[in-house]
Chains A and B, each alone.
Chain A
């Protein structure tokens, strides 16, 4: 009976540490995916049909294949070509590309939401292309698609649980380990759910505060 033992206080610490890892891998993926997504979204918006047929099609592949399959494929393909990857690196890269594929489309629609008339007005004042981009298109487009971007960020935070299939001990994996030992799935899942809630809720709150400030 030694295999099984009750939930101990230090198990909570174990979960908290894992939550930190979830937060860390999500932060890396969301920030790098967003930065690259802004670049790719801009390329999509200026490259017209050719762009959406090439770059857009590639991004669609990443948007359409379930994340769990991307993770397994990526993690197992690299050792075959002689580059072994640890679960953290593989997970971060795949999550980043997944974020990028979602964000680039958000950014593209943000740029396209700014009317040509408005951009002509700013150009008619003597603003250069980049001044128009920086001072008009960026702030106006950002306000239009910010809620969509927050949606992407929150879903990536939760989807990061899938990196557990590679053996990376983030929140979900940690809970599985504890469940195996304690046989207390209900209480542990409830605790883990709370952890996810406390990771996501501040983001959602902060986002709605930002939106409120913009609405004046």
Chain B
């Protein structure tokens, strides 16, 4: 469903992605691991068109993301994204955070958007926080709110950009549990993560990025137990 061909991305003179080829299938959970600055997060931003690309191609269900004729606002409705900094809308309650985009982007009625939002908040375990403002929520709750907000748009793919990196250690679990739940429901997911146990247990495939190149990709057992590349072995020995 997502096809990336020979993707090159530069920030000025700095080449952060040096020819990435990657296909993600419907229903698949792909984790991307690698050191900071290896281009993992940039890849996600390129996939939903928040960053431009210099060469190559990304297609989602045969729609070319970086074609100027593509309606990105429409395409992004297929792609839910969860960020490292959860980015809750501070002026809206949890309910309004989730209901806003379905209402103004998809044109749903207020009642329908509200019902849908309550359903999603229940889904991520925030039904008791419906009328709370983000400032009254913990980091983990705000991140689950961000997940509910993305899910309310009924995306076909969820992109997670280091969704647990900014959280206090004791709050990581609740967010990972929510991500596990999504994976078990069959959601297509691309997760940039530093959580090796999550990558190992939940993913169908794991990709290791090193300095803008996808060094290695394969099932978690293979990548973690029998890595082919020296870079991968080196990285894994450090994070274990």
Contacts and interface: CB of A to CB of B under 8 A. Distances in A.
Given A117-B83, A140-B91, A143-B91, A125 B105 contact: yes
B83 A126 contact: no
Contacts of B80: 124
Contacts of B81: 121, 124
Interface stretch (A59-67, A131-139, A184-192): A131-139
B149 A125 contact: yes
A127 B85 contact: no
Given A117-B85, A120-B50, A120-B83, A127 B91 contact: no
B73 interface: yes
Interface string B71-91: 001101101110101010111
B146 A121 contact: yes
B24 interface: no
Contacts of B149: 125
Contacts of B106: 126
Given A120-B83, A135-B100, A125 B91 contact: no
Interface string B37-62: 00000000100101000000000000
A147 to B, nearest CB: 16
Interface residues of A, number: 20
A135 B104 contact: yes
B176 interface: no
Interface string A27-45: 0000000000000000000
Interface string A135-151: 11001100100000000
B217 interface: no
Contacts of A124: 48, 50, 76, 79-81, 83, 150
B76 A123 contact: yes
A216 B150 CA distance: 25
B223 interface: no
A118 B48 contact: no
Contacts of B150: 124-125
A140 B92 CA distance: 10
Contacts of A120: 45, 50, 83, 87
Contact of B104 (A118, A123, A127, A139): A127
A135 B87 CA distance: 14
Interface in B84-135: 85, 87, 89-91, 100-101, 104-106, 133
Interface of B: 45, 48, 50, 73-74, 76-77, 79-81, 83, 85, 87, 89-91, 100-101, 104-106, 133, 146, 149-150, 153
5 contacts: A120-B50, A124-B150, A125-B76, A125-B149, A140-B90
